[in-house]
């Protein structure tokens, strides 16, 4: 089952299995912009009653959609809440949820799990109030499981693990920085999907109206002056600009997987 998985992901899987007896609680960190693609059905089935579903990066997602997703997970029987670990929003509530799970049993052993780059280490650091775990905007930063103690919480940070159902070619996982990919197809997919639906996303690149389908990147390149010699669009530069704008929220708050 572990065959073919990079070493640090194998270590995370093994640590979760090894410490299953002592762990009271599992935070499953999702990206609010794509809760379905970042869900881990295997972990959820195994630890249903110990699971806390954390929709992270809420400040980058459509708030109404995030509310619906929280409702969806709550109806499915999970404890679920939205946070933005970088901004610090919702972290007090998360702390309170963990306190309530402790039910007098101290200390509470908590594992932070989820796909690569979903913000697990940032959540751990925010819970601790100091930087104990390295954080970077790329997958595979946490290399080995590590325990950190704060007050009555003992927290296990784990390296991000792709699930058996993770589609490595998914433009969603690429856009969220969960899998490494060529920036150009990912950026093309994003602009084709977002520019026609929002004037804010257009304005972010100085565009007044949606470009012809297929012309989005060249239109952005022209407007932004992201050009090569001969005034040709610099597609690599433009794609990186688009991904950076999306990931920082400059294109607006988007939920890529919508729920009714």
Ligand X SMILES: Nc1nc2c(ncn2[C@@H]2O[C@H](COP(=O)(O)OP(=O)(O)OP(=O)(O)O)[C@@H](O)[C@H]2O)c(=O)[nH]1
For residues 150 and 124, give the distance between their C-alpha atoms in angstroms, rounded to a whole number. 10
CB 156, CB 15: distance < 8 Å: yes
Question: Which positions from 124 through 183 interact with Mg ion, judged by CB under 5 A?
Answer: 141-142
Please report whether residue 140 would count as binding ligand X according to CB under 6 A: yes
Find which of Mg ion, ligand X, none residue 117 binds, CB within 5 to 8 Å per kind. ligand X
211 binds ligand X (CB under 6 A): no
Nearer to ligand X, 237 or 250 (CB): 250
Q: Rounded to an integer, what distance in angstroms lies between the CA atom of residue 234 and that of residue 222? A: 9
Taking Cα atoms as reference points, which of 60, 56, 57, 29 lies closest to residue 44? 29
Pairing relationship of beta strands 79-82 and 51-56 according to DSSP bridges: parallel
Among ligand X, Mg ion, none, what binds residue 253 when CB lies within 5 to 8 Å by partner kind?
none
Q: Residue 160 or 210: which CB sits closer to ligand X?
A: 160
Q: From the list ligand X, Mg ion, none, which binds 5 (C-beta under 5 to 8 Å, kind-based)? A: none
Instruction: Find the binding residues for ligand X in span 47-86 (CB under 6 A).
Output: 56-57, 59-60, 84-86
- The CA angle 66-115-144, to the nearest 5 degrees, is 140
Compare residues 35 and 119 and give the one whose CB is closer to ligand X: 119
Interaction of residue 121 with Mg ion, rule CB under 5 A: yes
What are the C-alpha distances in Å from 156 to residues 53, 128, 145, 187?
16, 12, 7, 34
* Count of positions (residues) in the chain: 260
Report the nearest approach of ligand X to the CB of residue 255 (Å).
14
What is d(CA 242, CA 248) in angstroms, rounded to the nearest whole number?
Answer: 10
By CB under 6 A, residue 116 contacts ligand X: yes
Is 142 a binding residue for ligand X by CB under 6 A? The answer is yes
Interface residue list for ligand X (CB under 6 A): 56-57, 59-60, 84-86, 116-122, 135-137, 139-142, 159-160
């Amino acid at each position: 089952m572990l065959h073919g998985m990079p070493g640090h992901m194998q270590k995370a899987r093994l640590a979760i299995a090894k410490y299953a007896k002592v762990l009271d609680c599992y935070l499953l960190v999702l990206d609010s912009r794509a809760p379905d693609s970042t869900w881990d059905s295997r972990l959820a089935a195994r630890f249903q009653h110990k699971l806390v579903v954390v929709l992270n990066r809420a400040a980058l997602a459509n708030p109404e959609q995030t509310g619906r997703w929280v409702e969806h997970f709550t109806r499915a029987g999970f404890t679920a809440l939205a946070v933005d670990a970088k901004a610090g929003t919702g972290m007090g509530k998360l702390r309170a949820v963990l306190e309530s799970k402790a039910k007098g049993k101290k200390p509470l052993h908590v594992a932070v799990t989820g796909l690569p780059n979903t913000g697990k280490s940032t959540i751990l650091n925010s819970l601790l109030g100091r930087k104990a775990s390295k954080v970077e905007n790329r997958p595979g930063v946490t290399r080995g499981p590590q325990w950190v103690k704060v007050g009555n919480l003992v927290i296990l940070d784990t390296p991000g693990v792709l699930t058996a159902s993770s589609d490595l070619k998914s433009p969603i996982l690429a856009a969220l920085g969960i899998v490494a990919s060529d920036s150009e197809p990912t950026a093309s997919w994003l602009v084709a999907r977002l520019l026609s639906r929002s004037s804010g996303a257009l304005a972010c690149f100085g565009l007044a109206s949606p470009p012809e389908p297929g012309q989005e990147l060249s239109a952005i390149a022209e407007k932004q002056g992201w050009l090569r010699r001969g005034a040709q669009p610099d597609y690599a530069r433009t794609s990186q600009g688009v991904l950076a704008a999306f990931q920082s929220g400059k294109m607006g708050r988007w939920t890529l997987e919508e729920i009714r």
